[in-house]
Amino acid sequence: MDENLPLLEQIRAQTGAPPAGALMLGQRPARRRWFPLRLSIREKILLALLMVVVLMTAPYAFLIAPGLRYKAQYDAIIQNITTANSINGYIKPTIDAEMWEIVAGKKPFSQGTQYTVLDDVDQRVQQMISNTDSEKGRVKLNVIQRTLQTLRGQIDQMGIQIASHRTFRENLALIDQIRDVTQLIEDNVQEYALFEVNRTQQQYLVLQAGLTRWAIAGLVVLVAATLFSIV
């Protein structure tokens, strides 16, 4: 067999075949980079349970974000309603009483609490404007703010008339105008409070519709998870 080796090498050279041992000395064939996933029965059961848990909890995870958003909106509405109710029944009797005591000579204009009340109410209205996410509600609150500015101007005028020693009749006529404006403020505040009450009903309906959709989606996912676990 040793005599045939040179002849075999010549044949390999003529045909272009690699010399003997080239496959052993050269690079080995590349192995497959990906291997099929082989799991035991226990691992398959655990994987199936994990998939079921993920499918069942996914709808509730997506429900958290809109739920928190609706809660924040509802809390803001309730807070504004509470603030509006605190203004109603407060500004009119307080301002009217202060103006009457000043005109009647029971206290000097400078010692009245009228400006303190105005600043307090204006701050509450500004807080409601910052707190609301409703453009229509913000417009209503801006109207209340402008009416408060009108009331402040009338109270300033009362101070001027008191300092000028105007007649009681003239001061009484201005008090009637102030009473009309304080009544208008209370009416506007009451209208705004009713507007926000109606918004709470709308928010409840939106939240209920959202919960219904997510409940249906959760049921569908539950059925899919059950079928997946069976398969």
Q: What is the pLDDT of residues 99-147, one digit of tens each?
A: 999 999 999 999 999 999 999 999 999 999 999 989 999 999 999 999 9
pLDDT, mean of residues 14-41: 54
Q: What are the structural domain ranges in the chain?
A: 41-230
Q: Which of 91-95, 175-179, 210-214 has the lowest mean pLDDT?
A: 210-214
Residue-level pLDDT at 204: 73
The CATH class, in words, for 41-230 is mainly alpha
Pick the closest to residue 19 from 30, 29, 4, 8 (CA basis): 8
Residue-level pLDDT at 35: 43
Long-range contacts of 120-128 (CB under 8 A, 24+ apart): 121/87, 121/90, 121/91, 121/148, 121/185, 122/148, 124/83, 124/86, 124/87, 125/87, 127/83, 128/80, 128/83, 128/84, 128/192
pLDDT, mean of residues 86-94: 94
Report the distance separating Cα 98 and Cα 100, nearest Å: 5
Its pTM stands at 0.66
Q: What is the pLDDT of residues 37-48, one digit of tens each?
A: 676 777 767 776
